[in-house]
Amino acid sequence: MCLIVFAWRPDHPQPFILAANRDEFYARPTRPLAQWEDAPHIYAGRDLEAGGTWLGVSTDGRFAALTNIRDPGQPLGRRSRGELVAHFLQGTLSVDDYLREVAGRAAEYSGFNLLVGDRHSLHFLNAVDAAPCQLAPGVYGVSNAGLDTPWPKLLKAKAALSAHLNDPEPEALFDLLADDTAAADTELPNTGVGFATEKLLSSVFIASPNYGTRASTVLIVSADGSRRLIERSFGPHGGRLGEVSLHI
């Protein structure tokens, strides 16, 4: 993923609400959200190049998602970041134990932000800090820097999510994910990729001939543990490809 906004409120009838966009090159082979044939307790999209995923849930109440860290000067990791999500969903380690294990070998991957949780807690790990933390109740966002780094698109998406928390209808959450308005030139972050690329990447929803938002995902978790997971897929120039809607 390249943008995730979410509300964590453990005592609420809907304790976890998430809206996220995965940005990637359109040419990278991908399978849409589905039950995995080789791990039937997992529901996620799949990166067919490296085998991992960017966001998923499991039938035992686990959840995981990640974004990359935008830094053209960082060393290239020898392992695919998508396995960090897949391994948590496939495994049996507690959230604490898993993040401690990942933090100890974070250098094996290019920079990442990893969000993992279960029915009882939600935790976050930034590869640069390598210090896992348990998240208190609140509204959060992460893009391609640290947690709640105030990039314009993240501030806009968090505000839109907050406005819909009393009645988090999927269509309203997809509307916030579809915002293709670029940030003003004076508000662009400087991540070392040049002005034109910073401008392209500054919108919540990204569309171009070669790179853009490949999937928009909405997850709504109820207090009884049931989850509604919806993914919309897109191709070049933001063309709509399909939708998968699951109740798990």
Adjacent-strand bridge partners of 221? 16, 227
Q: What b/e sequence results for 98-117 when a residue is b if at least 16 CB atoms lie within 10 Å of its CB, and e otherwise?
A: bbeebbeebeebbbbbbbbb
Residues listed for the chain: 248
pLDDT tens digits, residue range 134-173?
999 999 999 999 999 999 999 999 999 999 999 999 999 9
Stated as kind and residue range, the H or E segment containing 24 is: strand 16-25
Q: Do residues 51 and 80 touch, judged by C-beta distance below 8 A?
A: yes
pLDDT tens digits, residue range 49-79?
999 999 999 999 999 999 999 999 999 999 9
**Confidence tier at 1 by pLDDT (50, 70, 90):** confident
pLDDT tens digits, residue range 171-223?
999 999 999 999 999 999 999 999 999 999 999 999 999 999 999 999 999 99
Query: What kind of architecture, by CATH, is found in domain 3-247?
Result: 4-Layer Sandwich (3.60)
Tokens of 225: 């543990």
Q: Name the strands in the sheet holding 30-36, side by side, starting at the edge strand that comes first in the sequence.
A: 30-36, 39-47, 55-58, 63-68, 112-117, 122-126, 133-134
Q: Which of 152, 77, 147, 88 is nearest to 116 (CA)?
A: 88
Give CA–CA dist 35/41, Å, rounded.
7
Tokens of 100: 């401690």
